[in-house]
């Protein structure tokens, strides 16, 4: 009888423990579903959310009369979503043929364990012909997105003062660097939702419009600057000096109307020049005699 009572007591204890365990589980589920819903929902959206970046246009640089000295041209860049690409070997082979890169290099991009892969630098700033060939493939997970490229329509004109930008449109020297925070816009994005395998979910998509950067107007007069550049070229041809510089200023206000030096460089292709050529703005960097305009001060 005692043995029976002991067994019965043990069954009751186990039964109570099981009920207590189920109550704890139910309470925990209720707590998670009700009190932690917003946090979990945010984490889920972070896992599902995918952003295809859209670069903002950089602000335009004008002369004093509103003529463009530095502007933008539209190009496209290649972006991959590896989880959406089914036949990675075929996609890597076709893209490597079009872009002129090795199959191994492209396969590393296509098979990379990441949500979004930017093909850099081979897939940046593609020509119209190349982008059309990629677009004609029609592969899932292969996207072409708009991207702006800095363009200097007058090439060497005012290049040392204007400076130049890098492949991500960031200012690297001159006015482009000095006013980079104003010239740089705010990037946009195409936002959509995808599961862990990269397949798009049937949820609302959104488009964040990129915000262009602020424009910059200089005191420089384009006509005068063109004359300065022409005369600098004539000086280099006639006298073949190591360097030459011209600076034009409004003596009444101190405004710089034009400024140039040689050797110069084409800001569209700055990588073709050595670092001394592109970084030495001689009218600012070098020392020189003030000349006749300073005589009034010198004689006092």
Q: What is the CATH number of the domain that holds 93?
A: 3.90.1310.10
pLDDT tens track, the chain, 300 positions: 555 566 677 777 788 888 888 888 888 887 777 777 677 666 656 556 667 778 889 999 999 999 999 999 988 889 898 888 888 999 999 999 999 999 999 999 998 887 788 888 888 888 888 999 999 998 888 988 888 899 999 999 999 999 999 988 899 999 999 999 999 989 888 776 666 655 666 667 777 888 999 999 999 999 999 999 999 999 999 999 999 999 999 989 989 999 999 999 999 999 999 998 998 899 888 876 666 655 554 444
Do 88 and 15 lie in a common domain?
no
pLDDT at 68: 97
Do 110 and 70 lie in a common domain?
yes
- Residue 272 to residues 155, 231, 264: CA-CA distances in angstroms? 13, 24, 12
Is 290 among the domain residues? no
Do 98 and 134 lie in a common domain?
yes
**Reported pTM:** 0.75
Place of tokens 């309470």: 27
Do 6 and 73 lie in a common domain?
no
CA 188, CA 209: separation in Å to the nearest integer? 5
Q: Which of 115, 161, 243, 292 is catalytic?
A: 292
pLDDT at 236: 94
* Domain span including residue 25: 2-35
By C-alpha distance, which of 202, 54, 207, 82 is closest to 139?
A: 82
Report how many domains make up the chain: 2
Is 160 among the domain residues? no
Do 77 and 197 lie in a common domain?
yes
Do 6 and 148 lie in a common domain?
no
Do 9 and 67 lie in a common domain?
no
CA 125, CA 146: separation in Å to the nearest integer? 9
Known catalytic residue: 292? yes
Do 97 and 211 lie in a common domain?
yes
Do 20 and 149 lie in a common domain?
no
By C-alpha distance, which of 199, 234, 189, 220 is closest to 79?
A: 189
Is 135 among the domain residues? yes
Do 12 and 117 lie in a common domain?
no
Is 282 among the domain residues? no
Is 194 among the domain residues? yes
pLDDT at 291: 63
By C-alpha distance, which of 185, 179, 149 is closest to 72?
A: 149
Residue 253 structure tokens: 């206000």
Is 158 among the domain residues? no
pLDDT at 292: 61
Do 65 and 202 lie in a common domain?
yes
Do 76 and 209 lie in a common domain?
yes
Is 58 among the domain residues? yes
Q: What are phi and psi of 287, to 5 degrees?
A: -105, 145
Is 120 among the domain residues? yes
Cβ neighbours, 10 Å, residue 85? 20
């Amino acid at each position: 009888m005692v043995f029976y009572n002991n067994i019965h007591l043990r069954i009751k204890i186990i039964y109570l423990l099981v009920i207590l365990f189920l109550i704890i589980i139910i309470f925990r589920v209720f707590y998670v579903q009700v009190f932690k819903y917003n946090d979990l929902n945010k984490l889920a959206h972070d896992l599902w959310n995918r952003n295809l970046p859209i670069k903002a246009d950089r602000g335009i640089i004008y002369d004093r009369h509103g003529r463009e000295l530095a502007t933008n041209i539209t190009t496209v860049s290649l972006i991959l979503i590896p989880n959406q690409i089914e036949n990675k070997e075929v996609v890597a082979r076709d893209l490597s043929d079009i872009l002129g890169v090795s199959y191994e290099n492209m396969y590393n991009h296509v098979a990379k364990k990441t949500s979004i892969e930017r093909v850099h630098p081979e897939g940046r700033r593609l020509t119209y012909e190349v982008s059309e060939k990629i677009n004609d493939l029609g592969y899932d997970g292969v996207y072409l997105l708009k991207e702006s490229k800095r363009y200097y329509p007058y090439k060497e004109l005012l290049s040392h003062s204007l400076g130049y930008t890098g492949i991500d449109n960031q200012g690297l020297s001159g006015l482009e660097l000095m006013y980079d925070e104003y010239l740089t816009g705010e990037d946009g994005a195409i936002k959509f939702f995808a599961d862990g395998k990269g397949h798009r979910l049937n949820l609302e998509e959104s488009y964040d419009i990129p915000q262009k950067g602020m424009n910059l107007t200089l005191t420089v007069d384009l006509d005068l600057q063109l004359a300065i550049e022409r005369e600098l070229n004539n000086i280099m041809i006639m006298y073949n000096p190591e360097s030459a510089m011209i600076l034009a200023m409004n003596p009444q206000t101190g405004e710089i109307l034009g400024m140039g030096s040689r050797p110069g460089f084409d800001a569209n292709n700055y990588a073709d020049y050595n670092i001394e050529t592109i970084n030495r703005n001689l009218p600012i960097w070098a020392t020189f005699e003030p000349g006749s305009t300073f005589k009034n001060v010198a004689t006092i």
